[in-house]
Amino acid sequence: MPEMLASYVAGSWYTAPDAGVVVVDAATAEPVARVSSQGLDTRAVVEHARRAGGPALRRMSFQERAAALKTLAAHLDSKKSEYYELSAATGATRRDSAVDIDGGIATTFVFSSVGKRELPEGNILGDGDAVAMGKEGTFVGRHVYTALPGAALQINAFNFPVWGMLEKLAPAVLAGMPSIVKPATPTAYVTAAVVRDIVASGALPEGAVQLVCGGLGDLLDHFGGQDLIAFTGSASTASMLRGHAAVTTRATRFNAETDSLNCSILGPDAGPGTEEFGLFVKEVAREMTVKAGQKCTAIRRAFVPQPLVDDAISALRERLDRVVVGNPRSESVTMGALVSLHQRDEVRGAVDALRRSAQLVSGDPEQVETIDADPQRGAFMAPVLLACRDLDRSEPHEVEAFGPVSTVIPYTTVDDVAGLAARGNGSLVGSIVSHDTTFVRDVVLATAPHHGRLLLLDRDCAGESTGHGTPMPQLVHGGPGRAGGGEELGGLRAVKHYMQRTALQGSPAVVAAVVGAA
C-alpha cells in the first residue's frame, strides 16, 4: 500500500486513518499515494486560518509580504528537481512539468515584483485619487482596499498541481489573507510536496497556508461573508459549489475558473506559404499535445476559412504524425499520458459525442503506439483531430474533450466566425492568427466580449509571443459564461480580489492620514 498523503492543518500534519483513495502513476499504473481527509477537524482549519494565519500575515506590511514571496519562490526553485520527479507520475513530460512547476515559481516571483513596485508600505491600499464631495473641498471620498479577515479556500484542478496553487497563493499572501489549499485528488501528491517545502521554508508565518488532501467534508459550513472560495475545475463542480449556502446565503465570495471551448481563428489572408499559416498549425498542434491536451486554455475549436480547410488539415496531420506518445520519463517521448484511465475514458466518450457532427481526420482514440510503456496499463491516447461536417450541430461548441483533441471548423465571413466563436458560450482565451489588421480588428470587436484573453498572433510578434495557452500573471485569466465568469491573475487586480473595497469619506487631511502617501 502506498503512503497516505498528510494534510497540513492547524499547525501540524494530519494523516487520515482509513484506506483512502489509491492514486496510481498515469503511465505505469504503479500506486503512488493514498488520499483521504477522513476525521479532519474542518472547523479547526478555518479557525486556524482566521485566528493564526490571517493576523500573522497582516502584522507584516505589503512590502514584507512581497519580500517573503520572493524568498519563497527562490526556495521552491532550489527544490524543483523533486517536483519534476513526482510530476512525471502524473503523465507529464519534462516540457509539461516546466509549464506547471517553473510556471508556478515564475508567477510567484512576478507577484513579488508586483507587490514591491505597486503596493505601498503598511496595510491599506488607496484606489484612485480622493474626489471632492462638496464645493469647499473640505469633504472628500476615496476608495481603499484592506485584506479580508477570513480564510481563502483554493480548490484546484488536477492538471496544474503546482501552478494552480501558486497563482492563487501568491496574490492571497500579498493581500494578507491565509489560504486553505485543496488540490485535486489525482495529482495531490505533487501539491503536497510543494506545501511541505513551503511550510519547512519558514518564509510565510504559521497558518498562512494549510493543505487539505481529500474531500472538504463540511468545511464550507464554517464559511461566511469574510471568506472566499477560488475554484478551478469543471463547470459542474463550480455550479454545485455556487449553490452552497455559504455562497447563496452567507455571501462567501466565489470565483470560478472552469471549462472552456477555446478557439483559434485563422485569417483568410493566412494561406499556405504565409508565416501566419505555419504559426496557426504550430499553435493548434502544440495546444493539442502539451499536457496531453489537459489544459483549460487548449484550442478545442480551430476555425479555418472554408477554402483553406484541406490545407490546414493536411498540415496539422503532418505535424501530429510526428508526435511520440509514451512514458514521459523517456527522452524521445513528446506527449505523455492523460492523468488516469478514468480521464482517458472520459475523453474517449467526448470524442464519440463530437463524432456526431465531425469526422476523424487524424489519430484513433482507441489505438495508440507507445514508447517505453504498456498502452493498456497507462492512460495513453493518440492526438485526435476532427473536422466538423455539420455546422448546425452543437457538439463542437459544447463538448469539452479534456485531452489531445481538437476540431477544425470551416467559416466564411467575419460575422460567421464571430457567431461560431460565440457558440462556445464564453471562453478563457481565443487567438486570431492573421496579418490583416482590418480582419483582426473586426474579429476582436465581435469576439472580445466572449473571451477573457485574445492573442493576436502574426509574424511580427511570433518571436516573443508567449502562446495561445499560457496565462500570464500580469494579464487577466478567466472568462465569461461557461469559463466560469471569474477572473484571476492580472497583476495587482488579483491581489484586490482578496480584499474589501471601502469608500472612505472625510476631510482631506484625515483621509490622507489614514491612507498614507499611497
Contact residues toward ligand NAP (CB under 6 A) are 155-159, 182, 184-185, 216, 232-234, 237, 240-241, 257-259, 296, 400, 402, 428, 484
Shortest distance, position 103 Cβ to ligand NAP, whole Å:
12
Which amino acid does the sequence have at 300? R
Cell of 261: 471551448
Q: How many helices (H) and strands (E) does the chain have?
A: 17, 21
Phi, psi for 463 (deg, rounded to 5): -60, -35
Which residue, 305 or 430, has its beta carbon nearer to ligand NAP? 430
Could you tell me the smallest distance in angstroms from the CB atom of residue 389 to ligand NAP?
25
For ligand NAP, give the closer residue by CB, 123 or 406.
406
Tell me how far apart the alpha carbons of residues 117 and 300 are, in angstroms, rounded to a whole number: 37
Shortest reach from residue 233's CB to ligand NAP, in Å: 2
CB of 167 to ligand NAP, least distance (A): 9
Q: What does the block give as the cell for 15?
A: 494523516
Smallest distance, ligand NAP to C-beta of residue 150, A? 17
- Amino acid identity for residue 353 in this structure: A
The residue number with the shortest CB distance to ligand NAP is 233
Give the chain's radius of gyration (CA, Å): 24
Q: Which lies closer to ligand NAP via its Cβ, residue 247 or residue 518?
A: 247
Q: Which is nearer to ligand NAP, 281 or 428 (CB)?
A: 428
Cα angle 407, 409, 412 (rounded to 5 degrees) comes to 170
Sign of CA dihedral 299, 301, 304, 308: positive
For the sheet with 125-132, list strands across it. 125-132, 140-147, 499-506
Output 279 or 405, the one with its CB closest to ligand NAP.
Answer: 405
Tell me which DSSP letter residue 219 carries.
Answer: G
Residue 460 CB neighbours (<10 A) = 11
In the complex, least distance from residue 194 CB atom to ligand NAP, rounded to whole angstroms: 15
Closest distance of CB 340 from ligand NAP, Å: 10
Beta bridge partners of 12: 9
Q: Indicate which residue of 296, 388, 395, 488 is catalytic.
A: 296
For ligand NAP, the closer of residues 126 and 293 by Cβ is 293
Min. distance of Cβ 237 from ligand NAP in angstroms?
3
Torsion of CA 42, 44, 105, 119, to 10 degrees: 120
Q: Is 257 a catalytic residue?
A: yes
Neighbours of 36 (CB within 10 A): 20
Give the Cβ contact number of residue 364 at 10 Å: 11
Contacts of 138 (CB under 8 A, 6+ apart): 507, 508
Judge contact between 128 and 188, C-beta under 8 A: no
Known catalytic residue: 388?
no
Give dist(CA 491, CA 452) in Å, integer.
15
SS3 358: strand
From 167, 257, 276, 488, active-site residue: 257
Nearer to ligand NAP, 155 or 203 (CB): 155
- SS3 state of residue 165: helix
Nearer Cβ to ligand NAP (63/234): 234
Q: Is 389 helix (H, G, I), strand (E, B) or coil?
A: coil
SS (H, E, C) 477-500: ECCCHHHCCCCEECCHHHHHCCEE
Catalytic residue annotation: 257, 296
